[in-house]
Amino acid sequence: MPIFTKRVRTLAGAVLATLTILATPAQAADRTTGPTAPAEFVALSRVAPSIIQEMRYYGQHNFVGARVDGYLEPLCILTRQAAEGLRKVQQQLLAQGYTLKVYDCYRPQRAVDHFVRWAKDLADEKTKAEFYPNVAKDRLFEEGYIAEKSGHSRGSTMDLTIVKLPPRYQRPYVPGEPQVPCFAPKDQRFPDNMVDMGTGFDCFDPLAHTDNPVITGAARQNRDLLKNTMVAAGFRNLPEEWWHYTLNNEPFPDTYFDFPISRCSLSRV
C-alpha cells in the first residue's frame, strides 16, 4: 500500500475520533415523531464519515442561546447530492492535511421559525456580546441576518469550516461563560479548533463577509482555501457568510422541508 494512502487513512481516523467527541449528545435524544424525509436525504456520516460534526443548534452555543426547535439529535442531514459533493471536498482537504467541520446542514422550517421569534423578542439579548455586538437587534431582519425562509430547509445548504489535522482538542462550551466578540482575535474568542477564518461562526458582522478586504494573512488564505475547494466541487458561497455554501444543482430548489433532525426521520441512516 502506498505511504500516501496510509497517511490519509491515519488522518481520517483522527478526524473520526474527534467527530465522536463533538457529536455525542449530552442526553438521550428526544424521539418525538413528525414528518419524515424524502428518500433523497441521507445522514452525512454515511457518505463522508470523516467530516467532523459540531451541530451548533443542537446545543446552547449559538446566537439563540438554546437548543433550536427541530434539532432532536446532533446530526448532519443533507440531500445525497450535497453529501457526495462534500465527500469530494473532504478528499481534497485530507490530502492537504485538513478536514471539513460542519456546524449546520439541513434546517427544518420550525427552526427557522424559532429564529424569527427570537429576533422579534428585542428583550432577549443574552448572546449579543458574542454574536452581534455592533448590530441593534431590531435591525437583524433589515440587514439580512435573519429571514423567514432559509436555503438550509431545502437540504443542500450547509455551514462549515476547515480544521487542521490532527484536530486539536476543543473544550465544551459552558453556558453562561463570559462572551467575547465573534470578530476578536482567534486566540481571544471561544476556542474553536478550526483554522483562523477572521471571525467565529454565525458572526453577524461585515467582517464575516467572505471577501471583506480587511481580512488578510492566514485568515484570507484559509477562506480562499475553503471557497476554492467548495466551488470546484460544485458549490456556491453566500457572500455575506464565509461559512455558508449551497450545492449549485440542488434537487429541491423550491421546496422547504420541516421534518425534524433525527435518525428516525430518515428512511435509511
Task: Report DSSP state, residue 28.
Answer: P
Helix segments in the chain, DSSP class H = 3-23, 44-47, 80-94, 109-120, 128-131, 217-232
> Cβ contacts of residue 85 below 8 Å, gap of 6+?
233, 234, 235, 247
The topology under which CATH files domain 3-265 is Muramoyl-pentapeptide Carboxypeptidase; domain 2 (3.30.1380)
State how far the Cα of 162 lies from the Cα of 145, in Å rounded to an integer: 23
Length in residues, the chain: 269
pLDDT at 268: 58
Q: CA torsion angle for 102, 104, 105, 107 (degrees, to 10)?
A: 170
Q: Where are the domains of the chain?
A: 3-265
* Average pLDDT for the chain: 90
Q: How confident is the model at residue 34 (pLDDT cuts 50, 70, 90)?
A: low
**Which residues are identified as catalytic?**
241
Percent of the chain with pLDDT over 70: 87
Write the DSSP string, 163-189.
EESSPPP-PPP-TTPPP--TTS-TTTS
Mean pLDDT, to the nearest integer, of 176-183?
97
pLDDT at 164: 98
Mean pLDDT, to the nearest integer, of 138-165?
97
Among 132, 144, 153, 139, residue whose Cα is nearest residue 205: 132
The predicted-structure confidence for 192-230, as pLDDT tens digits, reads as follows 999 999 999 999 999 999 999 999 999 999 999 999 999
- What residue type is 46 in one-letter code? R
Write down the pTM of the prediction.
0.88
pLDDT at 267: 76
